[in-house]
Chain A
């Protein structure tokens, strides 16, 4: 197990290095001159050149990349072009809101997804099952921003139950979190339902039933535990996808998380922020994948890591 973990972590290093080069090239390939954008439409050429020097953009690309790696290894990720504040400080300011949003969304999705999935599966073909299957099929198909807009105008603009803009307060978190949660909730509910049905059909559950264990015990102790394996995988994967989905929802609710920061930074060609932000997204996504693989093993004793 530990050897497996260490091997997987070591494998991340070359990927991360590749990602950092890819990110660097990609950022510099975006058309647009940060010096010009920051100096403004009515800046003189001298203003623009002064700005270019201030940003350190007068070196060649490979040199700039090597500088980046050298400084990064020392823990120095440079200053945000736009705000002239250390990049890590900028990212830290926007990290907490996104963490809060995506964790509340995934918790909502997991709890209600598993609950409704189990309910649907145990009462197969009932009206409840029909509702859950119907809602989850729709939930996967509705774009999160459309849902966000609808919720915003219903509950914020017309009913005034929640503030219009998202914030880290509980009330401000509700609408963005719900909008973000629906798609993973639906996916998880479908998964729980189908893996549950599958597991219920398997021998050992039938055996457990035959041994005279109560329905409830069978459901929760045996079937659920086994059904959880793909569900955890799925939840983890969904968590990875949330990072992407959050970009759109954060835009709808003007919620100032990392996704919001990403769109802003692309607009201003804020290279240092973009570089670290994209690396962070990639790392987060890769770690989530690794974590999923590990949890998978912990839940299913049949899986052993070599």
Chain B
């Protein structure tokens, strides 16, 4: 009898212990499924988030989008913006024990840009002509021509460095066997379900607080909320604003929101009627009550656009917003020869959030006599429609979003407004072609001097704003949900998460 009592007590104690041990696992529910953990072959935020815990770059961004040192402690560039030299952090080891040094940096970038590997992010680094190891802890990159935004390409999540030993051992299979210098080391990957990481006690930034970090893949937002409520997850990514309400009244969970570099807009084909007339495009900007859009679609979690790029993008310069003024809109339409408005097709993606936005815009346009026919498309069909040259393009207007993954104005403007970025080359779906803007965008790349670059981008933003190839809408916040006792997991402005400092109180 006593024996069995002791046994029971033991079992109870052990299970209590197990519960506490499990408490040091932080589970993060993600909105999709991981594809690869090779930074140089990644183009999804979700993969970048997990890679954030495993790897470090030479430089990176902090919470506010400011450039900060990581594996490099300092750096210099020559005046012509063709040479970039980094001093490296000493005493850092990869998770497999390989020392981190200049040779490791060279190995990684040579590997990523190697055309034979056909990696998705090779284009960020294929302007590098040579990489020289100056000493164990100093490395110099020489570019084939001036590129002032190069530092941001290094800060890009694709610039996070993989262990040279892992590259030698696994080759392209690094995608499934990631080894970095980061806070957490890879343990396992169950496709479609989860990726498990464990703390790297030797992390140069200090030993991580949570023993284990799990990334769970849960595409359905309502399911993610349910998992947070039931304690199956401590942090949920991508909380749709309309679900915020369902989390009220539970003190154990809370909503967190942070500004993003994401912009939402309606682009108009500036080469075709009726949007070839600047007055028509401006009219639609006056016709939209941006504050109402924000309240309805984003439930207030966002800010009205005041430039073609979001506030936290480097090179942002504030413009004067188009106020909500239907009368002015009608007047401009009349001046442009459309006193009774017109009808156009508004293409968009078929996700719920886009369709809600489409409908709100449709109602606002209707008030100034303009009829928008909504044409929602599945992703693959949309990309087929979008990437057509002008003579084959059927686009009139598209409701869209863009996020410059480098965090810099160049990638926030050049793919969208530069003449050389017309489809199928890039994403200038407005077929916008303004000589001043073309020139200014080129200027921004000829120097690494940030002050000169900022001036060029400010001037370009002003022209773009006034000629209105877009209806400028808003920049949504990144909204997440989390347990009240969790700290150290947060959204970066680019929409990825930084979960390196995850800790349960």
Chain A residues within 8 Å of B, Cβ to Cβ: 30-33, 36-48, 50-51, 53-54, 82-85, 90, 93-94, 152-153, 156-157, 160, 163-165, 167, 252, 254, 256, 260-261, 264, 267, 269
- Closest chain A CB from B182 CB (angstroms): 22
Residues of A within 8 A of B123 (CB): 43-44, 46-47
Q: Judging by beta carbons under 8 Å apart, are A254 and B223 in contact?
A: yes
Q: Judging by beta carbons under 8 Å apart, are B232 and A163 in contact?
A: yes
**Contact of B36 with A by CB under 8 A:** yes
Given contacts A32-B383, A33-B383, A33-B384, contact A156 B218 (CB under 8 A): no
Q: Judging by beta carbons under 8 Å apart, are B120 and A256 in contact?
A: no
**Contact of B97 with A by CB under 8 A:** no
Give Cα A41 to B425, complex, Å.
Answer: 11
Q: List 13 A-B contacts (CB under 8 A).
A: A32-B378, A40-B44, A43-B123, A45-B424, A45-B426, A47-B120, A90-B191, A93-B191, A94-B192, A153-B226, A163-B230, A252-B220, A267-B378
Residues of B within 8 A of A90 (CB): 191
Q: Judging by beta carbons under 8 Å apart, are A51 and B226 in contact?
A: no
CB closest residue in chain B, given A267: B379
Residues of B within 8 A of A153 (CB): 226
Within B364-392, which residues are at the interface with A (CB < 8 Å)? 378-381, 383-384, 387
- Closest chain A CB from B266 CB (angstroms): 16
Q: Judging by beta carbons under 8 Å apart, are B383 and A164 in contact?
A: no
| Among candidates A30, A39, A83, A157, residue contacting B120 with C-beta atoms closer than 8 Å | A39
Give Cα A94 to B193, complex, Å.
Answer: 11
Residues of A within 8 A of B150 (CB): none
Give Cα A85 to B192, complex, Å.
Answer: 14
Given contacts A40-B120, A42-B427, A156-B230, contact A84 B380 (CB under 8 A): no
Residues of A within 8 A of B118 (CB): 50-51, 53-54
Given contacts A164-B230, A164-B232, contact A256 B192 (CB under 8 A): yes
Residues of A within 8 A of B424 (CB): 45, 48
Residues of B within 8 A of A152 (CB): 223, 226
Other A-B pairs, 16, CB within 8 Å; known A82-B35, A93-B191: A37-B380, A37-B383, A40-B120, A41-B427, A42-B405, A47-B123, A50-B122, A93-B192, A156-B226, A163-B230, A164-B227, A164-B232, A165-B216, A165-B232, A256-B193, A260-B192
Given contacts A36-B383, A37-B380, A256-B192, contact A164 B425 (CB under 8 A): no
Q: Judging by beta carbons under 8 Å apart, are A45 and B425 in contact?
A: yes
Interface string of B169-185 (1 = CB under 8 A from A): 00010011000000000
Give Cα A213 to B374, complex, Å.
Answer: 72
Q: Judging by beta carbons under 8 Å apart, are A157 and B226 in contact?
A: yes
Count: A-B pairs, CB below 8 Å = 109
Give Cα A46 to B191, complex, Å.
Answer: 30
**Contact of B33 with A by CB under 8 A:** yes
Q: Judging by beta carbons under 8 Å apart, are A83 and B232 in contact?
A: no
Give Cα A44 to B425, complex, Å.
Answer: 6
Give Cα A167 to B194, complex, Å.
Answer: 11
Q: Judging by beta carbons under 8 Å apart, are B226 and A164 in contact?
A: yes
Given contacts A53-B118, A160-B230, contact A42 B36 (CB under 8 A): no
Residues of A within 8 A of B205 (CB): none
Residues of B within 8 A of A252 (CB): 220
CB closest residue in chain A, given B387: A36
Give Cα A32 to B384, complex, Å.
Answer: 5
- Closest chain A CB from B173 CB (angstroms): 9
Q: Judging by beta carbons under 8 Å apart, are A83 and B43 in contact?
A: no
Residues of A within 8 A of B43 (CB): 39-40, 42-43
**Contact of B411 with A by CB under 8 A:** yes
Give Cα A47 to B119, complex, Å.
Answer: 8
- Closest chain A CB from B20 CB (angstroms): 20
- Closest chain B CB from A85 CB (angstroms): 8
CB closest residue in chain B, given A85: B176
| Among candidates B36, B122, B378, B379, residue contacting A84 with C-beta atoms closer than 8 Å | B36
CB closest residue in chain B, given A257: B192
| Among candidates B33, B44, B384, residue contacting A31 with C-beta atoms closer than 8 Å | B384
Q: Judging by beta carbons under 8 Å apart, are B380 and A267 in contact?
A: yes
- Closest chain A CB from B154 CB (angstroms): 18
Residues of B within 8 A of A50 (CB): 115, 118, 122
| Among candidates A32, A38, A43, A254, residue contacting B219 with C-beta atoms closer than 8 Å | A254
Give Cα A160 to B230, complex, Å.
Answer: 7
Within B116-149, which residues are at the interface with A (CB < 8 Å)? 118, 120, 122-123
**6 closest residue pairs by CB, A with B:** A32-B380, A256-B192, A40-B43, A164-B226, A54-B118, A157-B226
Give Cα A157 to B223, complex, Å.
Answer: 9
**Contact of B74 with A by CB under 8 A:** no
Interface centre among A32, A163, A252 (most CB of B within 10 A): A32
- Closest chain A CB from B48 CB (angstroms): 12
- Closest chain B CB from A186 CB (angstroms): 27
Interface centre among B218, B230, B232 (most CB of A within 10 A): B230
| Among candidates A46, A84, A165, residue contacting B218 with C-beta atoms closer than 8 Å | A165
Residues of B within 8 A of A167 (CB): 193
CB closest residue in chain B, given A261: B192
Residues of A within 8 A of B217 (CB): 254
Q: Judging by beta carbons under 8 Å apart, are A41 and B383 in contact?
A: yes
**Contact of B449 with A by CB under 8 A:** no
CB closest residue in chain B, given A268: B380
Q: Judging by beta carbons under 8 Å apart, are B380 and A269 in contact?
A: yes
Give Cα A39 to B176, complex, Å.
Answer: 19
- Closest chain A CB from B78 CB (angstroms): 26
**Contact of B481 with A by CB under 8 A:** no
Residues of B within 8 A of A48 (CB): 424
| Among candidates A42, A94, A165, residue contacting B411 with C-beta atoms closer than 8 Å | A42
Residues of B within 8 A of A256 (CB): 191-193
Give Cα A165 to B115, complex, Å.
Answer: 41
Give Cα A47 to B229, complex, Å.
Answer: 42
Give Cα A31 to B229, complex, Å.
Answer: 40
- Closest chain A CB from B348 CB (angstroms): 14
Residues of A within 8 A of B387 (CB): 33, 36
Q: Judging by beta carbons under 8 Å apart, are B191 and A42 in contact?
A: no
Residues of B within 8 A of A82 (CB): 35
Residues of B within 8 A of A37 (CB): 379-380, 383
- Closest chain B CB from A14 CB (angstroms): 32
**Contact of B415 with A by CB under 8 A:** yes
| Among candidates A32, A54, A157, residue contacting B381 with C-beta atoms closer than 8 Å | A32
Residues of B within 8 A of A264 (CB): 33, 192
Give Cα A269 to B384, complex, Å.
Answer: 12
Residues of B within 8 A of A45 (CB): 424-426
Residues of A within 8 A of B227 (CB): 164-165
Residues of A within 8 A of B415 (CB): 42
- Closest chain A CB from B72 CB (angstroms): 25
Residues of A within 8 A of B219 (CB): 254
| Among candidates B191, B223, B379, B402, residue contacting A165 with C-beta atoms closer than 8 Å | B223
CB closest residue in chain B, given A269: B380
- Closest chain A CB from B471 CB (angstroms): 19
CB closest residue in chain B, given A264: B33
- Closest chain B CB from A281 CB (angstroms): 18
Within B218-248, which residues are at the interface with A (CB < 8 Å)? 218-220, 223, 226-227, 229-230, 232
Within B256-304, which residues are at the interface with A (CB < 8 Å)? none
Give Cα A160 to B223, complex, Å.
Answer: 13
| Among candidates B36, B120, B380, residue contacting A43 with C-beta atoms closer than 8 Å | B120
Q: Judging by beta carbons under 8 Å apart, are B381 and A94 in contact?
A: no
